[in-house]
Amino acid sequence: MYSKKTMKSALETMMFMWGEPLEVKDAAEVLEADRKEVRELFRELMDEYEQEGRGIRIREVDDAFGFVTFVENDLFVKKLCTPVRVRRLSQAALEVLAIIAYRQPVTRSEIDSIRGIKSERVIDGLIDKGLVEIKGRSEGVGRPLIYATTKEFLKKFGFTSLKDLPEVPEYEEMRREREEEGYGQMSIDFENGDADAENEDAAGEKEKEEKE
């Protein structure tokens, strides 16, 4: 026969591992004890958790007992369940993530041209967070990497698929304006660091020749 302390400890462990309400008859069988005694131990544990103000409580359901969370801690549970990675994203990360989400598959050079600033570190951070992944390489010059969002991205933001992304007409307007200003003209087939540099050099030489 096990001691009362041992049986209480065993009941806590079994409830935790079982996941669902643990029936008295099953617990009694494991402990080789009388059902009435085991039921009383369950209820003693219930009172102890209640009196000590624990964040975890024990609930009795049809002669079975299981762990539940303290209802007044619901606020903290909701905060915890809010995607941690998403809540900690910087403004730059959110901006890059939005571009990738709406333009995928997209190369880093295309992202840089839209933002007007290098995005390599931001992209690496999003990959580390599991929100963005490398989907392969473009068929263009230099075969730059192309990026897309992941299933984790959909999960964290509560989307079923990319079709659930909200329409953002302002984004398309911004893109068109930047293209008219000379940004983002390069297609996906020509987007890589070397190609950008070569085009800039070529433009500079042409301007120089025209002046001469």
Q: What is the pLDDT of residues 140-195, one digit of tens each?
A: 788 899 999 999 899 888 888 888 888 765 555 555 554 555 443 333 332 333 33
Q: How many helices (H) and strands (E) does the chain have?
A: 11, 6
| pLDDT score recorded for residue 179 | 53
pLDDT of residue 170: 54
Question: Distances from the Cα of 46 to the Cαs of 37, 40, 51, 58, 114, in angstroms?
Answer: 14, 10, 9, 5, 59
Q: How far apart are CA 97 and CA 28, in angstroms?
A: 54
Q: Say what the pLDDT of residue 138 is.
A: 85
DSSP state string for 93-143: HHHHHHHHHHH-SEEHHHHHHHHTS--HHHHHHHHHTTSEEEEEE-SSTT-
CB neighbour class for 7 (10 Å; exposed up to 12, middle 13-18, buried from 19): buried
| 34 and 123 housed in the same domain | no
State residue 39's pLDDT score.
95
- Domain-embedded: residue 210: no
End residue of a domain, out of 47, 73, 99: 73
Q: Mind listing the pLDDT tens digit for each residue in 47-86?
A: 999 999 999 999 998 899 999 989 899 888 887 776 554 5
Task: Find how far residue 88's CA is from the centre of its chain.
Answer: 10
Q: Both 116 and 53 in a single domain?
A: no
Higher pLDDT pick, 183 / 35:
35
Q: Tell me if 114 is assigned to some domain.
A: yes
Same domain, 69 and 121: no
Domain boundary among 73, 94, 113: 73
**pLDDT of 29 strictly over 90:** yes
- Whether 163 is in a domain gets the answer yes
100 and 199 co-located in one domain? yes
Number of domains in the chain: 2
Please indicate, yes or no, whether residues 125 and 27 belong to a single structural domain of this protein: no
* Rounded mean pLDDT, 7-29: 93
CA nearest neighbour of 141 among 81, 190, 212: 190
For residues 67 and 171, state if they share a domain.
Answer: no
Residue 212 lies in a domain: no
Q: How far is CA 41 from the centre of its chain?
A: 41
Same domain for 33 and 125, yes or no, is no
pLDDT reading at 205 higher than 90? no
Name the residue range of residue 112's domain: 84-205
Amino acid at 138: S
Whether 204 shows a pLDDT value over 70: the answer reads no
With a cut of 90, say whether residue 24 has pLDDT above it: yes
Q: What is the pLDDT of residues 12-22, one digit of tens each?
A: 999 999 878 89
Residues 66 and 89 in one domain: no
